[in-house]
Amino acid sequence: MATTASLSPEVLAKYEPVIGLEVHVQLLTNTKAFCGCSNQFGAPPNTHVCPVCLGLPGALPVLNERAVEFATLAALAINCEVRERSIFARKNYFYPDLPKGYQISQFDKPLAKNGWIEVPTPEGTKRIGITRLHMEEDAGKSIHDGFADSATRTYVDLNRCGTPLIEIVSEPDIRTPEEAYEYLTRLKEILLYTAVSDCNMEEGSLRCDANVSVRPRGQEKFGTKAEVKNVNSFRFIRSALEYEIERQIEVIESGGRVIQETRLWNAHEGRTYSMRSKEQAHDYRYFPEPDLPPLIVTAERRAEIAKQMPELPEARRARMVAEYEISEQDAQTLTATQAFADQFEAAAKAAKSPKRVANLVQSELTSRLKLKGLELEESPITMKGIAFAADLAEEGKLSSKQLKQLFDAAFENGEDFAIVYEREKPQQITDPAAIEKMIDEIIAANPKQVEQYRGGKKTVAAFFVGQVMKLSKGQANPALLNELVTKKLDS
């Protein structure tokens, strides 16, 4: 990553970053927020439009009930207080992809407020406050490249106009780029578990703007903030914040003044650059939307929506750690998506050892997925296949070497574990006499290690097990081998 002039750790330590995040989330409704147009991504430009989302005279908005349900569910999932009465407003500004000249949003009376998400930090769990969650509609999309005349013309696709959004605004509680990354990761997990959005950043379903400033450590007053936009992955948001924090500290240390502005992130160059100054707050001239009545979400309706709440990621992780005796790191991997967690739990309940299933996922599966550039759901080995492999290992029918070879073959051929196992069925040596013969050979060749063992260093037994396993080309039955090695060395 390109950086500003290198700053020493001592200089960086003098300052404290203050970060707040604004996250826009497209809701996964079939139709748009205020009309019956399709809300599906990827249609030919300007085909999912009507008089309402085009803002034609006389066209009136009608609120999508499903959007309200999804917004309320999301608000409850991030511990917000849902207002019984909220107000839609007109946010006025002019841009080519906003045909009405205003956006229907919420201003001083949003749907929900005062929420929080907990994130892990090196010092322990930290609670990040959420100021508000409000509903609004999306604007269209300006397309600045991809056409023969893009150097002189901008094209506009209005399919996205009117797509239902929620905006989730955090408190300025975030102090490091890593905390910002963890906050966004946990927020995305929660939204995916509730199924209110697909959170696809490539398609614009989830977009994030970051506000960042620095101040001398110990100072209460905030510094001048810059807004960083145009960041399309959590990893890039973390990198953009790292760069921007150093840039601002360098400006202050060199005697300059940080300017309030909007900056864009250039991932290729690894730096932010100025888009426009923001010395004055933009006057959006908010006023209540005259064509929509107040939104009423009664206590009874909130209770009905709350019944749809699934078990959320953090609660599920805690339960799985207790129920399956797995580590927190295992639980984190296994709950990465709701579907994968469901598959693991089904496999764990069917397997002889849930812990061994989790270990195989961590030790054998994830490393191969990373190497191949695959997501969990693209794995050729299903969770049922993992459970089958775990049972074979638990019963001592497969050595760790054989297990690895079968996993490699499954990934090479794009086949599930059981198919590969049935075809290749590794022959395991289970004859005690044959194994004893190999043990005798290894003992005779390593008198020094025998002396160490009999002198009280019992851990040396693992050396003999490893040597016999190597001699047998991984085919000796592990459980029987361990038993016979100990018996031979003790005799």
> Residue 147's pLDDT is what?
92
Bridge-partner residues for 35, per DSSP?
none
298 is written with which tokens?
């009664």
Total Cβ atoms within 10 A of residue 448? 8
Q: Is 3 among the domain residues? A: no
Q: Residue 204 phi/psi, 5° resolution?
A: 85, 10
- Report the pLDDT value the prediction gives residue 429, as an integer from 0 to 100: 73
Which two structure tokens, joined as six digits, stand for 92? 């006025």
Considering the domain architecture, whether residues 380 and 269 belong to the same structural domain is answered as no
- How do strand 261-266 and strand 155-157 relate by DSSP bridges? unpaired
What is the span of the domain harbouring residue 453?
A: 432-490
Establish if 71 belongs to a structural domain.
Answer: yes
For residue 72, the one-letter residue type is: T
User: Could you tell me if 321 and 190 lie in one domain?
Assistant: no
Of 371, 403, 424, which closes a domain?
424
pLDDT at 105: 98
Q: Are residues 403 and 438 in the same domain?
A: no
Q: What is the mean pLDDT of each run of 10 residues along the chain (491 residues)?
A: 67 95 97 97 96 94 98 98 98 94 97 97 95 98 92 95 98 97 96 96 94 95 92 92 96 94 92 76 87 98 97 95 89 87 89 91 89 87 93 84 91 95 78 85 86 82 85 77 84 75
pLDDT of residue 427: 67
CA distance 231 to 73: 26
At 26, is the secondary structure helix, strand, or coil?
Answer: strand
Contact 184, 234 (CB under 8 A): yes
Sign of the torsion angle spanned by Cα atoms 269, 275, 281, 286: negative
130 touches 114 (CB < 8 A): yes
Q: Please, which residues bridge with residue 277 across strands?
A: 261
Distance from CA of residue 82 to its chain's centroid? 25
Per DSSP, the three-state class of 318 is helix
**CB of 257 closer than 8 Å to CB of 214:** no
Backbone angles phi, psi at 437, to 5 degrees: -60, -45
Coil/strand/helix, residue 479:
helix
Residues 292 and 404 in one domain: no
Q: Is residue 2 in some structural domain?
A: no
Query: Which SS3 state, helix, strand or coil, does residue 325 take?
Result: coil
CATH number of the domain encompassing residue 457: 1.10.10.410
449 and 410 inside one domain? no
How many CB atoms are located within 10 Å of the residue 117 CB? 24
Closest CA to 270 of 292, 301, 238: 238
Looking at the fold, whether 150 and 45 belong to one and the same domain comes out as yes
Residues 320 and 225 both lie in one domain: no
Whether 381 is in a domain gets the answer: yes
Please list, residue by residue across 142-177, b when 16 or more beta carbons sit within 10 angstroms of its beta carbon and e when fewer do: eeeeeeeeeeeeebbbbbbbbbbbbbbbbbbbbebb
Q: Is residue 4 part of a domain?
A: no
Rounded to 5 degrees, what are φ and ψ at 482?
-60, -45
Residue that has been written with the tokens 């990373």 in this structure: 370
Strands 155-157 and 164-170 turn out to be: unpaired
Say which residue the tokens 């060749």 belong to. 445
| DSSP assigned state of 460 | G
How far, in Å, CA of 372 to CA of 239, rounded? 25
Rounded CA-CA distance 356/391 in Å is 8
Contact 335, 316 (CB under 8 A): yes
Asked whether residue 1 is assigned to any structural domain, the reply reads no
pLDDT of residue 1: 43
Asked if residues 209 and 168 have their Cβ atoms less than 8 Å apart, the reply is no
| Burial state string for 338-370 with b = 16 or more CB within 10 A and e = fewer than 16 | bebbebbbebbeebebbbbbbbbbbebbeebbe
In a domain, 450, yes or no: yes
What's the confidence (pLDDT) of residue 434?
84
Question: What's the rounded Cα separation, in Å, for the pair 420 and 170?
Answer: 49
Looking at the structure, tell me whether residues 68 and 200 fall in a common domain: yes
Please tell me whether residues 88 and 143 are part of one structural domain: yes
SS3 178: helix
Is residue 195 within 8 A of residue 218, CB to CB? The reply is no
Q: Which of 402, 424, 446 is the last residue of a domain?
A: 424
Same-domain pairing of 212 and 122: yes
Q: What is the pLDDT of residue 103?
A: 97
Q: Where among 424, 457, 480 does a domain terminate?
A: 424
CA–CA dist 110, 184 (Å, integer):
21
Q: Is residue 249 part of a domain?
A: yes
For residues 172 and 249, state if they share a domain.
Answer: yes
| pTM summary value | 0.82
- Considering the domain architecture, whether residues 148 and 253 belong to the same structural domain is answered as yes
Provide the domain count of the chain. 3
Residue owning tokens 């999932």: 77
Backbone angles phi, psi at 180, to 5 degrees: -60, -45
CB atoms within 10 A of CB 113: 18
Alpha helices in 294-431 (DSSP H): 299-306, 313-324, 328-334, 338-350, 354-360, 366-372, 383-394, 400-413, 417-424
State which amino acid sits at residue 488. Answer: K
